[in-house]
Structure 1
Amino acid sequence: MSETEKILRVAAKGDGVTASGRHVALAAPGDMVRADGSIEPGSHHAEPVCRHFGKCGGCELQHLDEASLAQFVTDRVAHAASGQGVEPAQLLPAHLSPPRSRRRATLHAARTGGAVQIGFKERRGHKIVDMRECHILRPELFALIAPLRKLLSAKRGKFSSNIALTLADQGVDCALTGYSPEGLEETEALTDFCRDHGLARLMLDYGYGPEAFWEPEPLTATLSGVPVALPPAAFLQATVDGEDALTSAVSGWLGTSGQVVDLFSGLGTFAFALPAGTQVQAVEAARDAVQACQSAARRAGRSLEAIHRDLFRNPMRAEELAGFDAAILDPPRAGAREQVAQLATSAVPKIAYVSCNPASWARDAATLQQAGYRLAELRPVGQFRWSTHVELASLFVREG
């Protein structure tokens, strides 16, 4: 490069991009890239708030200001749609979750050079960045990092562990893999740790799956005002704020529907967000989630039937979908190719499709569009703040 170039946008993996197509790490829209590769910050370049930024893989976009961060989230979703020939009738403003709002995260721990390190892995590497501050985790989760480091420091020898933290109604749910207490002394120390730090639950995996080591009372997660039992490793939206944005969009679109089928329903995040009088059939492959959802609906007096069914192997067929006024779809990152193929040939008037992967969603969106559905509204959501991970909610309406 022989002259200064301007950063025009941020690519999917977080690099700034110039008109010539050059990708520049940690560059924001409006930055100028000099001939020697150095960056002259522009008006959208923000000062990172965390000392670990640039190395830690937990955040990739702290160098963007609020406007360019929202634009990045919007562009990820809009470009995925247009790449498949899908254009929304209305593209809603992006919703961004605030700092320190993440209620679940998986960290890594290991003894390195005699010291125990806990944190996310490096941005583009495998080493652990020892977490001394964090601006994305809920304070209740971050408060456990130093005590966990002290606890694990007492463990003899080398070890490597994953630490899954989730904030439940009763407090922090912690799951450790690759770690187990040896002998009475370590077992008692672990019990004291749980009690002293108010853990709601501690799960240990001894190689046969997670088992509860500590759980003074059953855990719940409240979804749209309904407490639902929280099975180990159950899926929750990353932030309460992001969950509210997604459920508000879905309930706003489908609130007047009398009968709704909720596909890949999980614990009932979207089912419970619908008006109480809605007749809901919630379909999910995880048996513990089905049981938790059904029990919560029964206690809350909700008209909800939870059904166990693997929608990848056995999608609901078009004839089974007859009679439903609307469908909700919230599949894993791979999307829902088989289920969408059945929806495409159905007569369901409205489909609310929530996704954590714009690429697989766009592929499915094209299938629906080709079958006569119109993308009426599209809502980008950035609940993984300062990350390239983007989510969305969308409404498809059957034409004619």
Structure 2
Amino acid sequence: MTDIIIRVAARGDGVTDNGRHASFAAPGDTLAVDGTIVPGPHHQTPPCDHFPRCGGCQLQHLDDESYAGFVTDRIASALDAQGLSAPLRPAHLSPPRSRRRATLHAEAKGGRVLIGFSEEKSHAIVDIAECHILDPQLFALIAPLRALLQRLGFKRRGDVHLTLADQGADILLTGFSPDGLEAAEAIIGFCQRHDVARFSVDDGLGAETRWEPEPVTITLGGVAVPLPPGAFLQATTDGEAALVAAVREAVGNPRTTADLFAGLGTFALALPGKVYAAEGARDAILSLKGAANAQGRAVFAEHRDLYRRPLTKAELDRFDAIVLDPPRAGARDQADALAEANVPAVAYVSCNPSSFARDARAMVDRGWRLDWVQPVGQFRWSTHVELAARFVRQDPAG
């Protein structure tokens, strides 16, 4: 007796029509009674030798068609769980080797320094010798970083945050703060040899920059925004462009827009008209405010914790459109207030289909229509899914 894999579940397991699960199975694979998988037409040879040990990827065995289907199905399933449906556009997938931001783990073990992603469901580090998701400019730093940490006497476990900024690679090392002249010279020499834009350390008291020959920025909406160490960015420039395009389409050409959870201004600086930007991270909103003011952009940036103090209905009603891009937990309180508002259009960007669907349910129940959803898979071959969606008012509240 055999079964055919018909879909890939949220955690990456293949599922048959009678509910059997199998790890590393693709749609169209055959699952035998003993658990053996016979590859089907959508099962590709994983390109990386570290797969499946490395937790950086869970779905390298899927071809692009089935991976796009997984991204779309994740969103459809989350909506269905809330009794909702919407037109789902074809998934936008970022290409391999395009990640400009990643957090790797580092550990001193057996007289060596290991750097890589953790194994799936484990704290053990896979010491990566290749990577098919990182931008090559970032991956090229891994081996030299091992040698640098070895020289600095790294004896513990920490994290290495890598970001590709306008000026080059931005490195933040957390959990370790080497001191002394020898350490300073080693860091400076490393940065000079490898054209590093900035090198910072953080032992728990905040980031301390050890190397930054010129101010580090990230260009958003044509504006060079100061980039704080470890700041949030969309994972790929390709994925960012897809989300920005969807948001601009969703809101149209408003005179005034509120960008909530604005971060560094990914959407605020790409929107027409006047923009109010609210963000709870102080360093991010100060960067956005300074950059917008320097370029004469019509952006009013406010440091505001939208979980403790969401915009009220009266505040929301002043705008022609709302852009919402909350963290993974979603924006329950802000979505509840937004559900009562009389704003013509809302663009909701989410990195968690489940919390998005929960917030969408609250809005639909109060007279909104979920017009369309654009799935985005910028975390290549992972189970992490993003989206942008458009809501329009059907029955404005009184």
Q: Is the 2:353–2:386 contact (alpha carbons within 8 Å) kept by the matching residues of 1?
A: yes
What residue is the counterpart of 1:299 in the other structure?
294
CA deviation map 1:213-244 (0-9, x unaligned): 11111111001211111112211000000000
The aligned runs of 1:74-153 (5 Å cut-off) are: 74-88=72-86, 90-153=87-150
Task: Count residues with an aligned counterpart.
Answer: 395
Which residue, out of 188, 194, 207, partners 1:191?
188
* Aligned amino acid, residue 298 of structure 1: N
The aligned runs of 1:198-347 (5 Å cut-off) are: 198-275=195-272, 278-347=273-342
> How far apart are residue 29 of structure 1 and its match?
0.4
What residue is the counterpart of 1:20 in the other structure?
18
What residue is the counterpart of 1:363 in the other structure?
358
* Aligned amino acid, residue 83 of structure 1: A
Q: Is the 1:255–1:274 contact (alpha carbons within 8 Å) kept by the matching residues of 2?
A: no
SS at match of 1:319: helix
Counterparts of 2:94 and 2:50, CA distance in 1:
20
CA deviation map 1:10-45 (0-9, x unaligned): 000001011221110000000011222111100000
Q: 1:294 to 1:155 in 2, by over 3 A?
A: closer
* Aligned amino acid, residue 84 of structure 1: Q
Q: Is the 1:181–1:190 contact (alpha carbons within 8 Å) kept by the matching residues of 2?
A: no
Counterparts of 1:294 and 1:82, CA distance in 2:
40
Which residue, out of 18, 40, 43, partners 1:42?
40
CA deviation map 1:117-138 (0-9, x unaligned): 1100001211000110000000
> How far apart are residue 198 of structure 1 and its match?
1.2
- Normalization by structure 1: what TM-score? 0.97
* Aligned amino acid, residue 136 of structure 1: I
CA deviation map 1:330-387 (0-9, x unaligned): 0000000010111111111111000000000000000000010000010110000000
Counterparts of 2:155 and 2:208, CA distance in 1:
23
SS at match of 1:232: coil
Q: Which moved more, 1:103-112 or 1:178-187?
A: 178-187
What residue is the counterpart of 1:384 in the other structure?
379
Identity within the alignment, %: 59
* Aligned amino acid, residue 303 of structure 1: A
Counterparts of 2:12 and 2:208, CA distance in 1:
38
What residue is the counterpart of 1:60 in the other structure?
58
Q: 1:157 to 1:318 in 2, by over 3 A?
A: closer
* Aligned amino acid, residue 65 of structure 1: D
> How far apart are residue 157 of structure 1 and its match?
6.6
CA deviation map 1:89-123 (0-9, x unaligned): x2211000000000000001111122211100001
Counterparts of 1:206 and 1:360, CA distance in 2:
33
Considering only aligned residues, what root-mean-square deviation do their CA atoms show, in Å?
1.1
- Normalization by structure 2: what TM-score? 0.97
- Off by >6 Å, runs of 4+ in structure 1: none
> How far apart are residue 261 of structure 1 and its match?
0.6
Q: Which moved more, 1:196-205 or 1:370-379?
A: 196-205
Counterparts of 1:294 and 1:185, CA distance in 2:
38
Counterparts of 1:44 and 1:394, CA distance in 2:
28
Q: 1:101 to 1:338 in 2, by over 3 A?
A: same
What residue is the counterpart of 1:70 in the other structure?
68
Q: Which moved more, 1:8-17 or 1:174-183?
A: 174-183
Q: Is the 1:30–1:42 contact (alpha carbons within 8 Å) kept by the matching residues of 2?
A: yes
What residue is the counterpart of 2:172 in the other structure?
175
* Aligned amino acid, residue 65 of structure 2: A
CA deviation map 1:158-205 (0-9, x unaligned): 321210000000111100012222432222112211121111111111
Q: Is the 2:75–2:353 contact (alpha carbons within 8 Å) kept by the matching residues of 1?
A: yes
Counterparts of 2:139 and 2:154, CA distance in 1:
25
Counterparts of 2:290 and 2:106, CA distance in 1:
36
Q: 1:251 to 1:40 in 2, by over 3 A?
A: same
**Are 2:343 and 1:348 aligned?**
yes
Q: 1:157 to 1:297 in 2, by over 3 A?
A: closer
Q: Is the 1:31–1:40 contact (alpha carbons within 8 Å) kept by the matching residues of 2?
A: yes
> How far apart are residue 253 of structure 1 and its match?
1.9
* Structure 1: gaps (5+ residues): none
Q: Is the 2:154–2:176 contact (alpha carbons within 8 Å) kept by the matching residues of 1?
A: no
Which residue, out of 154, 165, 168, partners 2:151?
154
